[in-house]
Every structure is written in structure tokens, then in C-alpha cells.
């Protein structure tokens, strides 16, 4: 019988994982933090899943090119280098926080506990769920179908003043976009809530007006690459 019929996701995934995993090239594993203090911090950390596969519809169209049939294969660390919680804790975020400061932080549902652990390690107290993003389509889940992601809010000192809008809704209903891209409306809503405060987006992928941005993707120099690009291993032949 034709070999192709016996190809399992795992047989393909293992070599693909070593080939596609993004590696951080910075000698220090994070870029320098900016000078000064911020009252509002907005963060979307690169949570590490130990290379575990994730459901990602965008990979079906983009990354399976040339394959005989559409096979889902993706992981967060195919898109950017991921960082273990213990290492995220080592980034000295407390150094850039004002005495009165809020941290708005996205957590993936399996990383809720680590999210609270990380906010606490950075010197904040967990307060509540600031935003619930209903992505309006579900992914498979072990327990229920998964269609929401949470943005938690943590506080250090008092809530920064003066305050702006007090009528922002917790629930945001926006269709999911490309892998891990968060809806702009959340960032915009934080601005409405705290229009005058100095704000920074951590782990940013773009620069938003009124925000400082920090992260591997907003550096000018190339700071990560896949094993493929670094030629550290031979890409495996698929289906041979
Ligand atoms: C979950 S993504 C952020 C997505 C972003 N919020 C958006 O809406 O497009 C995490 C980001 O953290 C960056 N990152 C990974 N390792 C990092 C490190 N050691 N220091 C700083 N940024 C890092 C990744 O390159 C990626 O851009």
C-alpha cells in the first residue's frame, strides 16, 4: 500500500517543529527596556507551550503550500520565539512601572494561572478580567469548544488618575484575525479609560499612536530566525 496513507501528524510534526521553531538571536534574551516610568502597561506575552501543536486555521492556507492535501500543523513557536514563564519573570518590568500603575495582560486560557503568577512576579496585584474577547468562531478544546480569550488587569499602588471613560464594556466581539493578533479596539479602549497616562505596549508587533512599543518585533535589527534560516539543520523531505 502507498506509504503516504500511513503519514501521521506526529511523524510530520517532529521534524517540522525543529525546522520551523523560531530562535531568539539576542545575547540577552530580551531587548533593552525604555527609560522612564509608565502608568499603563499593555502586554501580550509569548507564552510557551513546550512546542505543543495549536489549532490555527491560517496555517492551512499559508504554511502547507506544496503539500498533497491540507494538513493542520502549527505552533506558537513557529510564529515567534516563545518564552517560558520562569524567564518572562526575569524581565525587570517593575523598573519601568510608576508607583501607581496598571498592567493589562492577555493570557491564553491554559496559561491563566501562569498569567497571574507573572503579573504578581512583576510587582502587581491581580484585580479582575478587564476584557473578554469573543472571537466569534471556535477552536477545538479538550473540554468545551474554545472561542474566548481574556485580558486581565493588575494594579500596583492606586489606579492612575485622572481617569477617563468609565463605561467601557468588558466583552469585545470581533472575529479572530491572523495568529495571535489582538483586536485594536482593546488598546483603543484602554486609551479611552486612561487618556493622559504614559503608556507602553510590551511584546508589541506594531507601533500604535500614543504608545511606546517594546518587543522583538519592533526592533530594527533582525533578532530571531528559524532553524531553516539559520541552516542549523537540514529541512526534512516531506512525503518521500
Ligand atoms: C503573542 S505575540 C504578540 C502579538 C501582538 N499583541 C499582536 O496583536 O500582534 C508575542 C510577541 O512577543 C515577541 N517576543 C518573543 N520573545 C520575546 C522576548 N524575549 N522579548 C521581547 N519580545 C519577545 C514575539 O516576537 C511576538 O511579537
pLDDT tens digit string along 81-101? 999 999 999 999 999 999 999
12 pLDDT exceeds 70? no
Closest CA to 113 of 146, 85, 148, 141: 85
Give the highest mean pLDDT range of 49-58, 132-141, 221-230.
Answer: 132-141
- 87's CB contacts (< 8 A; 6+ apart) are 29
Ligand 1, atom 1, residue with closest C-alpha: 46
Domain boundaries, the chain: 24-29+39-230
Distance 186 CA to ligand 1 centre (A): 17
Residue 1: pLDDT band (50, 70, 90) is very low
Give the Cα separation of 52 and 59 in Å (integer). 15
Within 6 Å (CB) of ligand 1, which residues are found? Answer: 24, 29-31, 44, 46, 80-81, 83, 180-182, 203, 205, 215-217
User: From the CA of 125, how far away is ligand 1's center (Å)?
Assistant: 23
Please, which pLDDT band fits residue 36 given cuts at 50, 70 and 90? Answer: very high
Residue closest by Cα to atom 19 of ligand 1:
30
- What does the pLDDT read at residue 44? 98
For residue 193, pLDDT beyond 80: yes
Q: What is the pLDDT of residues 103-123, one digit of tens each?
A: 999 999 999 999 999 999 999
The pLDDT value recorded for residue 15 is 76
Question: Percent of the chain, pLDDT > 70?
Answer: 81
Q: Mean pLDDT, to the nearest integer, of 118-142? A: 95
For residue 194, report the distance from its CA to the centre of ligand 1, in Å: 24
Enter the pTM of the model. 0.89
DSSP-based three-state secondary structure for 149: strand
Nearest Cα to Cα of residue 85 among 126, 37, 136, 121: 121
- For residue 45, report the distance from its CA to the centre of ligand 1, in Å: 6
Average pLDDT over residues 203-223: 94
By alpha-carbon position, which residue is closest to atom 8 of ligand 1?
A: 181
Strand partners, 106: 151
Q: List, as one string, the DSSP characters of 88-132.
A: HTTS-GGGGEEEEEEEEEEE-GGGHHHHHHHHHHTT-EEEEEEEE
Confidence of residue 162 (pLDDT cuts 50, 70, 90): very high
For residue 237, the model assigns a pLDDT of 46
* Residue 220 confidence class, pLDDT cut points 50, 70, 90: confident
14: pLDDT strictly greater than 80: no
Q: Work out which ligand 1 atom sits closest to the CA atom of 182.
A: 8
If you average pLDDT over every residue of the chain, what do you get? Answer: 87
CB 176, CB 137: distance < 8 Å = yes
Q: Residue with the nearest Cα to atom 24 of ligand 1?
A: 80
**d(CA 216, ligand 1 centre) in Å:** 6
**Ligand 1: distance of its center to the CA of 47 in Å?**
9
CA–centroid distance, residue 240 to ligand 1 (Å): 35
Taking a C-beta distance cutoff of 8 angstroms, is the pair 186, 151 a contact?
yes
Atom index in ligand 1 nearest the CA of residue 224 equals 25
pLDDT (tens digit per residue) in 147-158: 999 999 999 999
pLDDT of 205 strictly over 50: yes
Please name the CATH architecture into which domain 24-29+39-230 falls. 3-Layer(aba) Sandwich (3.40)
Q: Is the pLDDT of residue 191 over 90?
A: yes
- Report whether pLDDT(222) > 80: no
Amino acid at each position: 500500500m502507498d506509504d503516504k496513507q500511513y503519514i501521521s501528524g506526529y511523524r510530520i510534526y517532529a521534524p517540522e517543529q525543529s525546522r520551523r521553531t523560531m530562535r531568539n538571536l539576542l545575547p540577552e534574551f530580551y531587548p533593552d527596556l525604555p527609560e522612564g516610568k509608565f502608568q499603563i502597561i499593555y502586554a501580550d506575552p509569548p507564552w510557551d507551550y513546550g512546542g505543543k501543536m495549536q489549532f490555527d486555521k491560517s496555517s492551512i492556507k499559508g504554511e502547507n503550500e506544496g503539500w498533497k492535501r491540507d494538513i493542520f500543523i502549527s505552533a506558537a513557536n513557529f510564529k515567534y520565539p516563545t518564552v517560558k514563564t520562569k524567564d518572562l519573570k526575569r524581565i525587570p518590568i517593575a523598573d519601568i512601572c510608576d508607583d501607581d500603575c496598571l498592567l493589562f495582560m492577555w493570557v491564553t486560557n491554559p496559561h491563566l494561572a501562569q498569567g497571574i503568577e507573572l503579573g504578581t512576579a512583576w510587582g502587581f496585584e491581580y484585580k479582575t478580567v478587564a476584557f473578554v474577547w469573543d472571537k466569534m468562531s471556535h477552536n477545538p478544546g479538550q473540554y468545551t469548544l474554545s472561542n474566548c480569550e481574556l485580558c486581565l488587569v493588575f494594579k500596583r499602588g492606586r489606579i492612575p488618575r485622572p481617569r477617563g471613560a468609565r463605561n467601557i464594556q468588558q466583552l469585545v466581539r470581533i472575529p479572530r484575525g491572523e495568529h495571535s493578533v489582538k483586536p485594536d479596539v482593546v488598546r483603543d479602549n484602554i486609551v479611552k479609560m486612561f487618556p493622559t497616562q504614559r503608556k507602553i505596549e510590551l511584546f508589541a508587533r506594531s507601533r500604535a499612536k500614543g504608545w511606546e512599543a517594546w518587543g522583538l518585533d519592533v526592533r530594527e535589527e533582525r533578532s530571531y530566525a528559524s532553524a531553516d534560516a539559520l541552516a542549523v539543520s537540514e529541512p526534512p523531505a516531506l512525503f518521500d
